[in-house]
Amino acid sequence: MIPTSQNLKTIHFVGTRDKSDFVLYFAHVLDTMNKRVLIVDSTKNEWYRHSYTRYTDTQQVFDFQGIDILCGATNWLAVEKQLAAADETMTDYDVVLLDMDSKEMLEQDWPVFDERFYIGDFHRAHQSLDVELLHKLFEVTGTSELKRITFESNYRMNESYFETLLNQDVLWKSMNYLVEPDDMADVLRLRMQHDQIIPFKQLNRQYKELLSEIISDLYGVHTKDVSDAVRKSFFKSAFKRQRKHVVESSHV
């Protein structure tokens, strides 16, 4: 077992779906709650490095709107070494979010996570690959305890289909958090990648409320407290932008 700081919360997101935009929205909400967040990109294709950072061969830790993203780490020791190279330590963070999508990465040395979420959807290839991924997860961890988030589609299908494919009893530790389909999701993901912003305000109401619900459950606080933190952060940012515009205009 790899030890972690007593005050550090570690959260594992597993699934072959590209979860990077969801994890960034999740991190953004935590950031508004004054949590310093580190995202560890342990995806096979390094989705975060190639989608959300200004890629370089040497840099491994990137700042994205106040959220640190660490790329290329293949185990927990590598995470700590790369942080040290960036003059950071694990104790500098309140939350570490680790995104993983391959069986090979599951077999490496990681801590016992405080929370683990399976993030899936109705894409047939994702479901087939996720069956293999989850079987490997249960094998290496010795437990089938999971929380679950599902991105729904306008194509309706029976939720039990995936359980039939999985063919294994899973101890789901939460309700199945359902993210309703949103026609703007792809546009917002591209905006996040190319404009280097987190367009949280443009998410539909259900998505934002679901994020607040998940995080309120994690921290044992009321959903309204989470929503209020996000709202206050938005108005604070808007005030800063307005003030900057006024200052710049006065120098013209």
64 pLDDT higher than 80: yes
Chain segment 4-28, per-residue pLDDT in tens: 556 899 999 999 999 999 999 999 9
1 pLDDT higher than 80: no
By residue count, the chain amounts to 252
247 pLDDT higher than 50: no
Is residue 68 within 8 Å of 37, Cβ to Cβ? Answer: yes
pLDDT grade for 3, boundaries at 50, 70 and 90: low
- Please state, as a whole number, how many other Cβ atoms lie within 10 Å of the Cβ of residue 229: 20
Distance CA 153, CA 180 (A): 7
Chain segment 97-141, per-residue pLDDT in tens: 999 999 999 999 999 999 999 999 999 999 999 999 999 999 999
Is residue 151 within 8 Å of 130, Cβ to Cβ? Answer: no
Mean pLDDT across 146-164: 91
Question: Among 49-58, 80-89, 186-195, where is mean pLDDT lowest?
Answer: 49-58
User: What pLDDT score does 4 carry?
Assistant: 59
245 pLDDT higher than 50: no
CATH number of the domain located at residue range(s) 9-250 in this protein: 3.40.50.300
Nearest to 65 by CA among 50, 53, 80, 47: 53
User: What pLDDT score does 144 carry?
Assistant: 95
Average pLDDT, the chain: 89
146 pLDDT higher than 60: yes
pTM over 0.85: yes
Distance CA 116, CA 36 (A): 19
User: What pLDDT score does 118 carry?
Assistant: 98
User: What pLDDT score does 82 carry?
Assistant: 94
73 pLDDT higher than 50: yes
Angle of the 205-219 helix axis to the 20-32 helix axis, nearest 10: 60
User: What pLDDT score does 57 carry?
Assistant: 72
